[in-house]
Amino acid sequence: MWPKMKVKKEVTVAIVIGLIIALVVTGGILRARTALSKIKIPSKDAQQNRPVESGKIERKSNELFVDLTTPDNSVTTEPKLTLTGKTLPGTYIAILAEKGEYLIVPSDAGTFSQDIVLIKGANTITVTVYQNDGKKVEKTLSAVYTTAQL
């Protein structure tokens, strides 16, 4: 027969709690790794060497559109992001962010710019342009605000 060993309740509880904490930490690391692998971080060289498109898109004068010049899936260490773009003049622009809502009008040339307050982590920003007749067009972009050194 095996010798009888007495295991105290405290030791058993400590081992179970330790295993639970280890599983939670491991699950969190795996989830973070999966989320980070889905984010495409553009290199600084790619941004500097990117060709600038000027006037390649031809539009009808009354066709509603929104072109965002702020890059999608950007990663920043700043708590604010300047959202810029172009649309038809005389429209209304609604911007919905994680930490605020903004209602602006474009300039007479159709350009607009708005500082957006970001939350730590992933931010989804939705830009909707409305005309007086009720027509609307919408674009969504993502930005990640991190306090880690890049």
Residue 4 lies in a domain: no
Alpha helices in 39-145 (DSSP H): 44-48
Q: Does the residue 125 lie in any domain?
A: yes
Tell me: do 34 and 77 sit in the same domain: no
Residue 141, Cβ neighbours under 10 Å: how many?
18
Digit-coded pLDDT (tens) for 71-110: 999 999 999 999 999 999 999 999 999 988 999 999 999 9
| pLDDT for residue 3 | 63
Can you give the pTM of this predicted structure? Answer: 0.58
110 conformational bin, left if phi > 0, alpha if psi -120 to 50, beta if neither: left
Asked, for residue 17, whether it belongs to a domain, the answer is: yes
Sheet holding 111-117, edge to edge: 66-68, 80-87, 111-117
In a domain, 76, yes or no: yes
Decide if 150 is inside a domain: no
Q: How many domains in the chain?
A: 2
Give tens-digit pLDDT for 10-65: 888 889 999 999 898 888 888 877 777 766 655 545 545 555 454 445 555 678 89
Q: Give the range of the structural domain holding residue 115, as residue numbers without chain letter.
A: 64-145
The terminus-to-terminus CA distance of the chain in angstroms comes to: 61
48 falls within a domain = no
Whether the CB-CB separation of 75 and 68 falls below 8 Å is answered with: no
Same domain flag for 26 and 95 = no
- Looking at the fold, whether 70 and 112 belong to one and the same domain comes out as yes
Residue closest to 122 by CA, chosen among 50, 38, 57, 44: 38
- Same domain for 33 and 86? no
Q: What is the dihedral of CA 6, 11, 17, 18, to 10 degrees?
A: -110
In a domain, 91, yes or no: yes
Kind of pairing between the strands at 66-68 and 92-97: unpaired
Same domain, 76 and 117: yes
